[in-house]
Every structure is written in structure tokens, then in C-alpha cells.
Amino acid sequence: KIADYPFTTLSPNVGVAGEWGDERFVVADVPGLIEGAHEGRGLGLTFLRHVSRCRVLLYVVDLSGDPGPNLATVRSEVTAFDAELGTRRSLVVGTKADLADPGWEGADLVVSGVTGQGVAELAERLAGEVAAAKAEEPPRSAFVVMRPGREPFVVSGDAGRYRVSGPRVERWVEETDLGDEGAVAALQRRFIKSGVERRLAEAGARRGDEVSIGGMTFEFVPEPSRLGAGGGGADEQGA
């Protein structure tokens, strides 16, 4: 795009820096931030989210412009987005040293993309800062996957009357529209998959026996493979 924009880059450029000492690191070249970036101006929020993923921040300031106020604006936008970013390790580098007086005291070092001045030194400084930032990080704990355990249920009763008790199965019944055949069929499948029907059969339940779950009473109608009986679905008999 050609217009009176502070910058025209619309997406960050990411690359891997070669071996500098013992350190190999990724560099994200984030487009320039303008005033109001933390409020979304100039794709600022998108760019700042990339910044938040970096261990070390490198503020690149054009020495041929007005470096002091420009640096203050960028730093202000970064910390307004996330105050924690202001505590991270950082360097300030002045660019275009071939065009301007590199005597500005706000830069940690100066570089020139045209002459190559300071580029190797910048890479070495960055490698050292990244290594130091890594060393300061707290040790990571092992990644643990937490899976919910199966909530138990209890089958009790005999002589044609049985009760199934347990938070999970009672919740299933409570959440099911027993006037909807599809919902009742889905509930029956849950009973089969969770072992409710098998446990009832093992307890002696036979086709036609009453089974109470929560506040509802059902007729026990096992699937065809259970007890050698035909039929399917659970028919509501009353509460």
C-alpha cells in the first residue's frame, strides 16, 4: 500500500537467528506501533499479542527521526497493553546510523542496515539477553492431564423392584425429556454404555421389573443381547 502511513507492514516476520555462542533463538520483527495501538489502532492489538510472546524486547528507533519521543510512545503502548511487558529484558537500538548522528544517548547500541555497522554486535547482545531471560524463568512443572473419574453408581433391590443410585445417572434422568422418544432412546444408550443395564441384569433384574432412578420409575427392558430377551428402550411407568 502507498499512502501517508507510519509503516506499511501488515504482519510480523519471524525468523531464526543462527548460532551465536551457545544460543539459537527466534526473532519476531513486529511492525511499528503507533499511538493508540493498545486500543486497536493500526492493527496494534494484533501486533502487541505477538510482542507478549517474546522473552526479550528490542526497541528499534530511527535515528534520522525524533528518537526520544518515538521510543517513549512505543514503550507507553507496550506497557498500556500489558504492564508486565515493561519488566522484561529489553534493548534499545538506533537504526540508520549511516544517515544520522549516532550520538543519541538513549540507545544501547546503533546499527546500519546499509553498512552493516553494529549488526553482529546486536546479534551477540540479543543472544546474551535471551540466554539470561531463559535462566531467570522458573522451572516448568510436568504437564499433567486431568481426566474426570467415573462417578460410581449403586444397584440395590430384589423381587422385581430395583433402584439405581448415583449423581451421574440421576443427573441423566433429570436432564432427559421423557416425553421425547429420541431423548429416551439416547438415555437408554447411556445406561448401556455406562454399564447400568449390565449391573441390573447381574443383580437379577428381569424384563418388566421396576427400576427407580432419581424420582422416576422405569420398566426394565434390556437390549436384545441381554438375557436373551427382545425389545428395547425404557418406557416410563410413573414416579
Domains of the chain, each with CATH number or no CATH: 13-136 (3.40.50.300), 154-220 (3.30.300.350)
Strands 154-158 and 13-20: unpaired
Encode pLDDT of 196-239 as tens digits.
999 999 988 888 889 999 888 888 888 765 444 433 433 443 33
pLDDT of 53 reads 82
Q: What's the whole-number mean pLDDT along residues 55-65? A: 87
Q: Which of 65, 74, 135 has its CA nearest to residue 101? A: 65
Distance of CA 83 to the CA centre of its chain: 21
Encode pLDDT of 171-193 as tens digits.
999 988 888 888 888 988 889 98
Contact 57, 90 (CB under 8 A): yes
| Residue 66 pLDDT greater than 80, yes or no | yes
| Residue 170 pLDDT greater than 60, yes or no | yes
Going along the chain, which residue ranges are E strands? 13-20, 23-29, 56-62, 89-95, 109-110, 154-158, 161-165, 210-213, 216-219, 236-238
Which pLDDT band, with edges at 50, 70 and 90, does 91 fall under? very high
Q: Which of 59, 126, 51 has its CA nearest to residue 92? A: 59
Q: What 3-state DSSP class applies to 227?
A: coil
